[in-house]
Structure 1
Amino acid sequence: MAGLAALVALALLPFLAITGHPSSAVAQERPRTILDMLFGNGLQQQRRRPYRIDNRNSVSDDPRPATRQAPSRSQRKSRSSAPAPRASAPRPAQPAVTEKAEDAKTVLVVGDFLAASLANGLKDAYADRRMVNVKAASNGSSGLVRQDHYDWPAKLGPLIEENEPAVVVMMIGSNDRQPIYGENGTMSLRSPEWNAEYERRVGEIADIAAKHQVPLVWVGAPSFKFDRMSEDMVYFNDLYRQAAQRVSGEYVDVWEGFVDENDDFIYSGPSVDGQTVQLRNSDGITMTDAGNDKLAFFARKAVDRFVATDTPAESFNDQAGIVLPPLASAATAVRSPPVSLADPALDGGDALLGGGTTHIGLSLEPSPRDKLVLNGRGTGHVDGRADDFAWNDKSSAVGPGERPVAYQGSLDLKKIRQDQGIKPPPEMPTILDAIMDDWSQSNAEAQGGQ
């Protein structure tokens, strides 16, 4: 009996410890009991694991929103019909990070947990660019609604003054599907009062960038697993587009990159390399590493407008003012260089031919036009080929000569002339001779018939 009493006392010790310390911290991190030792406590930890709120101006370790809403009937249906998540494809080796120059242009990425994903993708995209430095100042649980948690209108100005960016990239809105609490009461989501206040706050962000004379690139929100959440993002994106364009900024639409042909949410899709990979995590909200890269792929073209700088040519003997001219230009090119599939400029150029700031230096090689007009030669330099524009009456193709024009074809004319020769066709008779021959032949047939 004494042994049984001791065993019961040991089992009740954790419960007595909890009763003696009723604080919330102890309630969340209670000691393990015998039941936990036997059956594990993974379920209890999963139930009481809170979302992490990061108040620092850096990329959050756990970039999930601070609040969770109970899914509606359509959301539960979408959740039940969603395919089982699969492991994401192995990510390729990270590019070597190039040491940034002291005068490198800064790309300041601000916003919520998706902005943190975008910043990670842009850091990889510009890892080999010495003159571009990406800085993240995101807050995973922030938004434009809960300014009591993180006030972006108050924080954005000092961040711009501190980092002096060449461009500000904003991505926000995923945590804004909640009421706005104001002095006049609570404004429910998407009510007329809520819409007016939220539009004012979006415009305030754009005005801050314009006041500091910094270009603004506003990246829209992607689709999400839950239908009602995606519907709200469509409305938000329209406000973001109007605010960015009002201050002559750039709006980046990423929606098409994360939906299928029916405009439905997808977990997996084409990566920037064209391979099918998992873009979203199993929660249907956050991004995988491949999703980060795809966000950066869409945003990079707009960002390049403000940070793209041509690397100057190496100076001769390190003397200023003496620069070697390029040995080739677009006018002398006879073939196109290979283009990466991950190049965001594949959808077309931004300037007309001859426009822009691209510097075309002197060339030591004549262009194909000069070869044709001045020298009478084409680019092929192959006798008999279609692009050989040198003057030639083609008579040497069938006449005597050392280099027949059709020498490169499938018919070797030299061999034909040596073996059997080429006989010219018989001479055509005149009209009078043809009439006389026909009359003679008719008379002969008539006499033979008699």
Structure 2
Amino acid sequence: MTVWRRARLALIAVVAGCAVLITGLAPSGIAAAQERPRTVLEMLFGGGTRAAPPPRVIRKKVIRKKPSVRKKSTVSRKAKARPKARNAAKKQTASRNSSARASAPQIAEEAQATKDANAQKVLVVGDFLADSLADGLDALYGDNEMVTVESRTNGSSGLVRDDFYDWTKNLGPILDEEKPAALVVALGSNDRQPIELGSATLSLRSEGWTKEYEKRIAEIAETVKNRDIPLIWVGMPSFKFERMSEDMVFLNDLYRKGATKVSGQFVDIWEGFVDANGSFVYSGPGVSGQQVQLRNSDGITMTSAGDDKMAFFAERAIARVLKDGVSPAISLSAEQLPNMQLPPLGNAANAVTAVPLSIDDPALAGAETLLGGGTTRGFTLEPSPRDRLIAGNGTGEVQGRADNFTWNKKTGAVVPDGESIAYRGTLDLNAVRASDGIKPPEEMPSIVDAIIEDWAEDNEAAKGDAPAN
């Protein structure tokens, strides 16, 4: 065996021994591998190595949500039914409004607690648009302690499918239970379908269908009239689909006839949800005048701004029947009566100031009576400017003004010399009376005489300038 072979075998043995030694010291070797190298400052000033911190393990917390359970809506006073279309349209905002919805019953109870004991009730009945109208009216009258809004709505109901929900049968008991001061009806959005009448099927807008539908409208109107409750029927708006909008125009005409036949009011909201050409729009002016989104993406249901706009149209009709009771009654004790002060008597014609009016006041939409039709006038001892003019007393009472008629006093045209009849200016009337009067000016010559006279004067002047012979 050569020397090089022996050296090679010795080297292999040394390497094998080192491997065994390293295997036995594996934990310390791993710890050494985790040690960071010493810095220059530690080399110069001392300091050992420090073990690297153990790796940080981040565990993601998984939050499991409980499945939401939706209770089935029924036609009741406390829970209002919403159609599937309305729920689908508002599904995208459900998570964002979950906290607000959770506190909505508490807010509603607090709002009801602030209402006056004598508050008049406005009852809203109908389909899912009636539900939107009720939400708008509830927000509108939220600060009015003398008006409360209740709703009895079924989102999928109508006047066609009386097998699903029969309004002509159920409305009477609802009115007897609620005893409202006014009833607001909004129906028709689900009625674009045939009427099953016995074994016959009446197609939409046919002669038989129209006759039966008018009969059902009349039954509702008579139910309200027999209980002496003011009826306010709110018409349908336009919809995204053209054929649907055409049918709503047809139905609105039937609602108008049925409501006015029993001295009810029909509220036309069509113009509030179309453009200048009468076409459907998703957005338009809101009750504040700003451009807002009125309809949801389905082109059928309303947004919150649309709810408010529907209520804005219905407010004037409601104010007509509640105008005698929207303010709380004033009761004075016997001790307060002697100190009660009445407002001063006055005439509107003499007023220099007026009470500010809100720009959205329903009274600004137009007069309630015809011109001169029994309008009342406040009693006053002070004559109006019109009365003073008729009596010849004038209004300004300033000498020399055109409206100062105090000098005339219904006497003759000739007055004594000592009393002036007009404002004294540059002409002294007393001096004119003492003289022969004012002499008229000389008569003006004709144009021909003026030319001849001017020609003669020129000839005389020419003669005077000529040299003598």
1:338-349 counterparts in 2 under 5 A? 338-349=356-367
**Contact 1:60-1:113 at 8 Å conserved across structures:** no
**Contact 1:314-1:323 at 8 Å conserved across structures:** no
Match of 2:188 among 138, 159, 173: 173
Q: Which residue of 2 aligns with 1:292?
A: 307
| C-alpha separation in 2, matches of 1:127 and 1:67 | 24
Match of 2:240 among 180, 203, 225: 225
**Cα 1:388/1:50, change in 2 over 3 Å:** farther
* SS in structure 1 of the partner of residue 280 of structure 2: coil
Match of 1:60 among 68, 74, 80: 80
| C-alpha separation in 1, matches of 2:384 and 2:179 | 44
Q: Which residue of 2 aligns with 1:369?
A: 386
| C-alpha separation in 1, matches of 2:347 and 2:147 | 26
Moved over 6 A (4+): 49-52, 320-323, 381-390, 397-400, 432-442
1:238-387 counterparts in 2 under 5 A? 238-309=253-324, 311=327, 318-319=336-337, 324-325=342-343, 327-334=345-352, 337-352=355-370, 355=373, 360-363=377-380, 366-370=383-387, 372=389, 376-378=393-395
**Cα 1:363/1:289, change in 2 over 3 Å:** farther
Greater mean alpha carbon deviation, residues 368-377 or residues 262-271: 368-377
**Cα 1:309/1:193, change in 2 over 3 Å:** same
* SS in structure 2 of the partner of residue 431 of structure 1: coil
CA-to-partner distance for each residue in 1:420-444, whole Å, 9 max, x for gaps? Answer: xxxxxxx998427989999987654
Q: Which structure 1 segments of 5+ residues have no match?
A: 1-36, 69-93, 401-426
Letter in 2 for 1:173: G
Q: Which residue of 2 aligns with 1:80?
A: none
| C-alpha separation in 2, matches of 1:320 and 1:186 | 73
CA-to-partner distance for each residue in 1:45-97, whole Å, 9 max, x for gaps? Answer: 9xxx99974432456374555999xxxxxxxxxxxxxxxxxxxxxxxxx9x97
**Contact 1:63-1:114 at 8 Å conserved across structures:** no
**Cα 1:323/1:50, change in 2 over 3 Å:** same
Greater mean alpha carbon deviation, residues 58-67 or residues 272-281: 58-67
| C-alpha separation in 2, matches of 1:337 and 1:383 | 34
**Contact 1:54-1:141 at 8 Å conserved across structures:** no
> Aligned pair 1:119/2:134, yes or no?
yes
RMSD over aligned CA atoms reads 4.4
Larger radius of gyration: 2
1:137-148 counterparts in 2 under 5 A? 137-148=152-163
Greater mean alpha carbon deviation, residues 185-194 or residues 267-276: 185-194
**Cα 1:114/1:365, change in 2 over 3 Å:** farther
Query: What is the CA distance between 1:394 and its match in structure 2?
Result: 6.8
| C-alpha separation in 1, matches of 2:459 and 2:379 | 84
Q: Which residue of 2 aligns with 1:28?
A: none
Query: What is the CA distance between 1:209 and its match in structure 2?
Result: 0.9
Q: Which residue of 2 aligns with 1:448?
A: 461
**Cα 1:284/1:397, change in 2 over 3 Å:** farther
Query: What is the CA distance between 1:342 and its match in structure 2?
Result: 1.6
* SS in structure 2 of the partner of residue 122 of structure 1: helix
TM-score, length-normalised on structure 2? 0.62
* SS in structure 2 of the partner of residue 205 of structure 1: helix
| C-alpha separation in 1, matches of 2:164 and 2:87 | 12
CA-to-partner distance for each residue in 1:394-426, whole Å, 9 max, x for gaps? Answer: 7457699xxxxxxxxxxxxxxxxxxxxxxxxxx
Number of residue equivalences: 353
TM-score, length-normalised on structure 1? 0.64
Query: What is the CA distance between 1:190 and its match in structure 2?
Result: 3.3
Q: Identity, % of aligned pairs?
A: 47
Query: What is the CA distance between 1:300 and its match in structure 2?
Result: 1.9
| C-alpha separation in 1, matches of 2:301 and 2:120 | 29
Letter in 1 for 2:358: S
**Cα 1:231/1:50, change in 2 over 3 Å:** farther
| C-alpha separation in 1, matches of 2:147 and 2:195 | 38
